Amino acid sequence: MSSSHAPIRLWYEDVTISDEAPYALLLDGRTAHTSSGITLAHKSYMFMQQIQKEWQRQDTFLVLHTLPLTRLLSGFLEMDADVRLGFFEELYNYSQHELLCYQADAYTPLAQQQQRSWQPWLEWGKEIYGHPWQTTHSIMPIVQSQALIDAIKAYLATLCDVQIFCYTILTQSLGSYLITDALLRSICPPEEALACAWLEHDTHMAQWGDDPELQEKRTQLAHQIRDVLIFHGASL
């Protein structure tokens, strides 16, 4: 899959799937590949049917942002050892600067919302990892306990490639390792994960009125959460 924004005119008419696993996407009978030449294939026939529909919906030009599942599969297939290590380090860094640990000044409307929405997940994180998460009302960095750091590292080391990939994609988008963790463990519903990540924006819009641009970004994030969960579920 090319990352170029230049229009790509459709070159195929027929979109099918190969008969045997791993099931490959076929364009006019020819196997589709990622930009680095890896066969675009997956073990789940039902998942590949969803990718097939993405390609069938294209009209005249290939529109990359309307191929979200294809792009997820392509990104995963191209994840080599170096990229995986980079993802591991990124997840670790996000966990050490956890969004939920940096809270607004006490007694403000946002702080009250954060207490209601975020505190339960901080308590859940304490239960899962066996150690409390330090919080602050300052923008200055805080350091989590070494015991919590070690517990997070130990958990990350148990994740398979699919999990590392999905954790990283969602953590980047949500800005929170802890909410992503709860989401991919099927503890936090997608709607609640989105609400937690978007809490500051939602609070400001409730006070000052809707922002169409922010609403569009929120919708896009909701769609991304859905797509990553589909890929995650089909790939494990």
CATH class of 81-235: mainly alpha
Tell how far CA 2 is from the center of its chain. Answer: 20
Mean of the per-residue pLDDT values of the chain: 95
Cα-trace Rg, the chain? 20
Cα angle 70-75-78, degrees, rounded to a multiple of 5: 125
Arithmetic mean of pLDDT, 98-120: 94
Model confidence at 162, in pLDDT bands (50, 70, 90)? Answer: very high
Q: Tokens 């008419």 sit at which residue?
A: 13
The one-letter amino acid at 193:
A
User: Is the pLDDT score of 59 beyond 80?
Assistant: yes
- pLDDT value of position 5: 59
Arithmetic mean of pLDDT, 142-171: 97
* CATH 1.10.3580.10 location in the chain: 81-235
pLDDT in tens, 111-128: 999 999 999 999 999 999
Cα angle 70-48-5, degrees, rounded to a multiple of 5: 15
- Whole-angstrom Cα distance, residue 162 to residue 88? 12
* CATH 3.30.2180.10 location in the chain: 8-64
Domain at 8-64, CATH homologous superfamily:
ATP12-like (3.30.2180.10)
pLDDT in tens, 203-226: 989 888 989 999 999 999 999 999
pLDDT in tens, 169-203: 999 999 999 999 999 999 999 999 999 999 999 99
- Among 30-39, 46-55, 150-159, 208-217, the minimum mean pLDDT is found in 208-217
Arithmetic mean of pLDDT, 60-70: 95
